[in-house]
Amino acid sequence: MSTFGLALLMALYDTLPDVELSALLRDDDHMAFNQIYERYWQTLYQTAYNLLKDNDGAHDVLQEIFVWLWTNRERQLTDSLQPYLRAAVKYQVAKLVRHGKVKAAFYDHTVACYQPSPPGDQNYEVRELQAIITAFTQSLPDKAREIYRLSREELLTNKEIAIRLNISEKTVENQMTINLRKLRLALGKMSFWSILL
């Protein structure tokens, strides 16, 4: 096929609605797959990057999704590609979180940004995150809970916490490391991530 003919064919595919691209994809049409990729990769990448804050991780998520889409093209049951692919991004990110393949910075950023919000000024995901963190902190032993509270709610430094509680700064640092590791595990197991992500 000439370059001109290929350009015309690509322009034709560009005008096809998702329902037709899905049907062509199920019939092993490579150009339909390429069009789906071109149509949605930027939005999907941005979604993955916004969740992971990691360029390589976002690219890995997209690669997994599009490999899966091609491999399972005959079994694909939806014609609504955008919500389907967006849900796939969230699922893949949740899978990374559950399996601990997300950088610790992702969790630390999430937890560090957590600030209680006034009631009525929260969306569903924020309320659920707050409920998970509250339940987690209540499950901690008294000393660990107090260290966590002083660090994350009163925003004290490790040194200030050590002085206030009359313990060593190293003890505070070790306890916060343990607390955050436990919180990462708790968040990784929650169905919350599949809703938020």
Q: What is the pTM of this model?
A: 0.51
Percentage with pLDDT > 70 across the chain: 71
Tell me how far CA of residue 72 lies from CA of 26, 30, 44, 77, 78, in angstroms.
Answer: 9, 13, 19, 10, 12
d(CA 61, CA 21): 22
Domains present along the chain, CATH in parentheses: 3-98 (1.10.1740.10), 104-196 (1.10.10.10)
Percentage with pLDDT > 90 across the chain: 20
Of 131, 23, 42, residue with least CA distance to 85? 42
Q: Give the residue with greater pLDDT, 139 vs 5.
A: 139
Question: 93 and 188 in contact (C-beta within 8 Å)?
Answer: no
Q: What is the pLDDT of residues 68-125, one digit of tens each?
A: 889 888 876 677 788 888 888 888 887 776 665 555 445 554 544 444 444 444 455 5
How does DSSP assign 28-64, residue by residue?
T-HHHHHHHHHHHHHHHHHHHHHHH--HHHHHHHHHH
Sorting pLDDT into bands at 50, 70 and 90, what band is 57?
A: confident
Burial state string for 46-63 with b = 16 or more CB within 10 A and e = fewer than 16: ebbbebbebeebbebbbe
d(CA 91, CA 196): 10
| Residue 2 φ then ψ, to 5° | -70, 165
Residue 172 CB contacts under 8 Å (≥ 6 apart), including other chains? 147, 151, 158, 161, 162, 165
**How far does Cα 49 stand from its chain's mean position?**
8
Of 18, 50, 56, residue with least CA distance to 37? 18
